Structure 1
Amino acid sequence: MSRLGLFRSFALALASSLLLFLSGMALPLAGFLLIALAPQPILGFGIKNGKGRAMGLLALAVVLFMLFGGEELQWGYSLVALMVLLLFFSLGRGWPVEYVVATASGGMFVAVSGILLYSFGSLSSLWRDLDTMLRENIELSLKTYEKLGFSGEVTELLREQAPRITEMVVRIMPALLFAGFAIVTLLNLVMLYRRFPDQRSVIVSAGDLREWKAPEPLVWCFILSGLSLFLPAGWEAWKISALNLFLVSVVFYFFQGLAIVAYYFHHKNVPHFLRSLAYVLIFFEQVFTLFVVALGLFDLWGDFRRLKKKDLNPGGAS
């Protein structure tokens, strides 16, 4: 690539990443998706032009936010930069996709947890402030519902249940945080996988992401953590930890269920419109979400994609 072409790619990737992030911060609903895509231009630039040049691009983006952005923008984009660094560390090592996702998500989780603990001083202060913030947000949402004309009985019921809701959300916040990072990581990996088909072996060591399955030992984490939820009173700290481990294992079985769905969509040539509709239902309708989790879990025994038969007879695989 010529110097002019390299400069254009550099400038385009920089502008795209900054624009996605700033747009995501400005938009209340679609913002999360745009922020999740902010690492993509830099990752793509690194795949095409080398990690060293991508590190320079990333450093420039961080410096720009340090010079011209507020504290909120600086911290926010620092998390984007950290995800890019963790992914560049993981890519090209021949790791399976679950190792890449776990490394990036785990690194992000540790970093964010450390920053929050440092900022609040103690875990109890963090939980207390988080609980207060959630209660205030729920109250604001309920007032908005009342202004929109929602039934008074519904809003009053939600107000009565607010303490239980906030308590549960605070308990599972570690799992929610890890799951969010895992989804963002996987989204960026899938996009890289589709954008650079000739570089797939560099991205992850997987022949086809639609044939991915979770490591078999993970089922023991799922079973043992699930059984731990039935421990008697007095084991609250253990039960909270078990609940978060249980939910993290559920996330990976959800990914496996998605892979199964994508596998059959591909092999049955399902129209893209119907695929999009199905994915919307999976992500926003609880029944479909649970069905996909169950699909991923029971694939351990059902082998719904016949992958074990394909492994035994590789010559007959199509």
Structure 2
Amino acid sequence: MLALVRLSLFGAAVSLGLQLLAGFLGMAGVLVNLLVPVPLAYVAMLGGMPAGGLAAFIAFVVAWATGGPWAMAVFAIQFAAPALILAGLLRRSVPWDRAIAVGTLLVFAVGFAGLWIYASRSGVGMIETVNGYLQSEIDTALKMGEAGNLTADQLAEYRRVVTGMGDFLRVTFPGWSVLVVEILMAVQVLFLNRLAHGRFHLAGSEFRRWKTHELLIWPLIAAGFAGALGDGVLRIVGLNLLLVILPAYFLQGMAIVTWFFARKGVPPVMRGAGYVLIAVINPLPVIVTGIGVFDLWVDFRQPRLKRNKQ
């Protein structure tokens, strides 16, 4: 029992520490925020769901004491729910890719319910609440541009870009929300796989041989046509579906890159550098996503698989 409490305290402390660090780093802290659920999920995988629940409860108490009930609610929805839901699925031997998909839907439902409760208590509709949040972010971005050393023409162009991005975010907010949860889930799976060391097992296929379901290509094609050629609601639905589906093909493209690195015997340091470059340098993410899509027809890993079977 004492060991379980210590493990839970450790998980809560690391998770809250990462959240605090993210707050100090400003915009760069967005990347650190992706790691906040990992300690809670790790504790749940290592010590069971009671340990994970206790770690989350400890974090709730600290968040309430330092930031009030609103801070606790945000931590619960944004970090604790993704960690515990994913760990619960993985501990039931749900394959990691299915755990990401199902967990994303469940966390999105929890977030939707939390937003509805907040909007109801505020006496403002959900759409108005979201638009108000986005407008505040747009206003902040505009003020940053005005404070910068920009010429009149540059400032006008900056305002045009920011305003256009704000309009795009308004119609694709559901898709972006799901995308953020997908990334949270995938990052957790990545780190849990690295931290397992035989203490627990993640069910599912080896990542470098992983593929999306073949039937997923049809919703992708339909969403692409709707987003590019549709109008009104049809276009909005298509754009949101693209945001939700394309990350699966980016992941498949990354699996192909991982297979290629393993085949060529690329050192771990070089692999890590390659993954970072793919994630941050345009147009590499688009190229990798395209590789994932066309893998359905080309099957980039087939030659290697044939030699393995001989």
Give the TM-score, by structure 1 length: 0.85
SS of 2:91's partner is: coil
Residues of 2 paired with 1:129 and 1:192: CA distance? 36
1:4–1:279 CA distance, 2 compared to 1 (3 A):
same
Task: Show the 5 A alignment for 1:1-318.
Answer: 5-79=3-77, 80-120=79-119, 121-146=124-149, 150-198=150-198, 202-206=201-205, 208-231=206-229, 233=231, 236-306=232-302, 310=305, 315-316=309-310
Alignment partners' CA distance in 2, 1:105 and 1:232? 27
Report if aligned partners of 1:86, 1:103 keep a CA contact under 8 Å in 2: no
Q: Give unpaired runs (5+ residues) of structure 1.
A: none
Contact 1:131 1:166 in 2 (8 A): yes
SS of residue matched to 2:27: coil
SS at match of 2:93: coil
Percent of pairs with identical residues: 24
- What is the deviation of 1:210? 1.8
Q: Secondary structure at the match of 1:217?
A: helix
Q: Deviations 1:169-223 (Å, cap 9, x if unpaired)?
A: 21222111111111111111111111114256x42322x1121111111101101
Q: Which runs of 5+ in 2 are unaligned?
A: none
Residue identity in the other structure for 2:194: R
Q: Matches of 1:168 and 1:226 in 2, distance apart?
A: 16
Q: Per-residue CA shift, 1:69-120, capped at 9, x if unaligned?
A: 3345313311211112211221133323221111222222222233223433
Which amino acid in 1 is paired with 2:175?
Answer: A
1:231 to partner: Cα distance: 4.8
The AA in structure 1 aligned to 2:85 is L
Alignment check: 8 A CA contact 1:130 1:170 kept:
no
Q: Is the contact between residue 91 and residue 204 of structure 1 (CA under 8 Å) also seen in structure 2?
A: yes
Provide the C-alpha distance between the structure 1 equivalents of 2:176 and 2:76, rounded to a whole number of angstroms: 20
* CA deviation string 1:214-236 (max 9, x = no partner): 11111011011112235554xx1
User: How many angstroms apart in 1 are the aligned matches of 2:272 and 2:91?
Assistant: 31
Q: 1:123 to 1:67 in 2, by over 3 A?
A: closer
CA contact 1:117–1:126 (8 Å) conserved in 2: no
**Is the 1:94–1:204 contact (alpha carbons within 8 Å) kept by the matching residues of 2?**
yes
Q: CA deviation at 1:257?
A: 0.9
What is the identity, as a one-letter code, of the residue corresponding to 1:168?
F
- For 2:151 and 2:276, locate their aligned partners in 1 and report how far apart those are by CA, in whole Å: 27
Return closer, same or farther for 1:135/1:43 CA change in 2, 3 Å cut-off. closer
Structure 1 CA distance for aligned equivalents of residues 161 and 66 of structure 2 = 43
Aligned residues: 305
- CA–CA distance in structure 1, aligned partners of residues 16 and 264 of structure 2: 39
Provide the secondary structure at the position in 2 that maps to 1:213.
Answer: coil
- Taking structure 2 as the reference length, the TM-score comes to 0.87
Shift of 1:30: 3.2
Residues 65 and 223 of structure 1: is their aligned pair in 2 closer, same or farther, counting only changes over 3 Å? same
